[in-house]
Structure 1
């Protein structure tokens, strides 16, 4: 059993470090967007967990074949009279990119945000084979 020392200045840190570090390893989990990708035949279904974010704090961008999801949480204003013992709510930005191919357009992708989960439906499209001339011109 863990017994924190009451003789240290950081008594509360000792107590809460023990409680929150095992088994969660909180620091490693911050900024991670857990994602499930399902092959649904004609399309892929992505479900990305973004707990604690509002729809307005989430952006999706498609550029050069990469779908980038970004979530940003702004710092809340603190009451000057409050003295936090520990503060674990994340503020800042996190993002993750997925390669979906050059042939997919933003109009092809359907997105819905509900209960902290961003669901994306991305159609499967055949890659357009570019015919390239590999011969060197000899003069």
Structure 2
């Protein structure tokens, strides 16, 4: 019966407990703010990358290629104001968001990449490069 109950005989330090709690709570907080979720599906002749970017407009999204890296960035600034008859603020809201990710596109035809954005999902088609065929030949020994 006693083997079914978890029993930890280690001594616990209250400060250590709170330190671990804080680290686990805030760990990844900055990552979640700056990154976005993606799915990559392999098909016969291409990869399809689907990125979740809800709340953005097409104009807010920037896709660039730097060497063998595909960079996706999305940023928006939005400010809404509502005033009453006396020009006093009834409500003022600001929203700012910045997301960025990079992907290695080695083996992808960079000039054939296409993108579309619908209902908060950015979809990129990444055509595969044809594998280079190595020629057979003999080498003369001198």
TM-score normalised by the chain length of structure 1:
0.60
Q: Does 1:60 align with 2:63?
A: yes
Partner Cα distance (1:121, 1:97) in 2 = 15
Give the equivalent residue in structure 2 for 1:119. 123
Relative to its length, the structure with more helix (as a share) is 2
Unpaired runs of at least 5, structure 1:
1-24, 130-139
1:95 is matched with which residue: 100, 119, 129? 100
Q: Which runs of 4+ in 1 moved over 4 A?
A: 126-129
RMSD: 2.9
- Note the C-alpha offset of 1:59: 1.1
Higher Cα radius of gyration: 2
Unpaired runs of at least 5, structure 2:
1-25, 83-87, 134-142
- Note the C-alpha offset of 1:96: 0.5
Would you say the 8 A contact 1:51–1:117 is kept in 2? yes
Relative to its length, the structure with more strand (as a share) is 2
Aligned residues: 100
Would you say the 8 A contact 2:108–2:126 is kept in 1? no
The verdict on how the C-alpha distance between 1:108 and 1:91 changes in structure 2, with shifts beyond 3 A counting, is same
The verdict on how the C-alpha distance between 1:43 and 1:119 changes in structure 2, with shifts beyond 3 A counting, is same
Would you say the 8 A contact 1:103–1:127 is kept in 2? no
